[in-house]
Structure 1
Amino acid sequence: MSLGIRWRLAAGIVLAFAATLVIIFVTLHFSLERALTSDLDQGLSRDVDRIRAQITLLGSVKKLEDLQRIVDSNSLNPGGELLAIAVVRDPQDNILGRTFELNTEQLALTPEEMQRVLAGDSVSHDVTLGNEEFRVRSSPLTVGDQVVGVVQVGESTKAATRPLDRLQVILAVEAAAGVILALGIGYWLSRGALHPLQQVIAVAAEIEASDLHRRIGARRKPAEVQKLADTFDAMLERLDRAFREQRNFLYDVSHDLRTPLTALRGNIDVLLMDDKLDEGIRRQLQQMSAETGRLIRLTNNLLYMASADVGREAERRPVELDIVCLEVYRQARDLRPDVKMRLGNEDQVTVMGDRDLLKQMILNLVENGVKYTRSGGRVTLSLFKRDGQAAIVVEDTGPGIPAEHLPHIFDRFYRAGNQDKSGTGLGLAIARWIADCHGGTIEVKSKVGRGSVFTVHLPLEESSGSAAPTSAP
Structure 2
Amino acid sequence: MTRLLRRWQAGIRTRLIAGFLLLCTLALAVSATITAYMVNGYIFDRSVEKLRDDAQRMGALTRSGPQVVNADQFDTVFGPPLGILGLDTGGEVLFSIGESDSRENELVRLTQDAAPYQVVVTDDDVAGVRVVTPGLRVGPVGDGETVDVASMVLVNDTDIDSETIWDFVYRMAAVTGVALVALFGLGLVVLRVGLRPLSQMVRSADAIARGSREERLPISDLGSETDRLAVAVNRAFDAQAEAEARARTFAADASHELRTPVATISGWLELYRQGGLPGAAVDQAFARIEDEVARIRLLVEELGLLARLDTGRPLDLEPLDLAQLAASIAEDSSIIYPDLDLIVESPPSLPVLGDAARLQQVLRNLVGNAVQHTPPGTRVRLVLTQAGPEARVAVTDDGPGIPAADLPRLFDRFWRAEASRSRDHGGSGLGLAIVQAIVRAHGGRVGVVSEVGTGTTVSLYLPTAPGGVRLSYHAHAGADQTE
Q: Normalization by structure 2: what TM-score?
A: 0.45
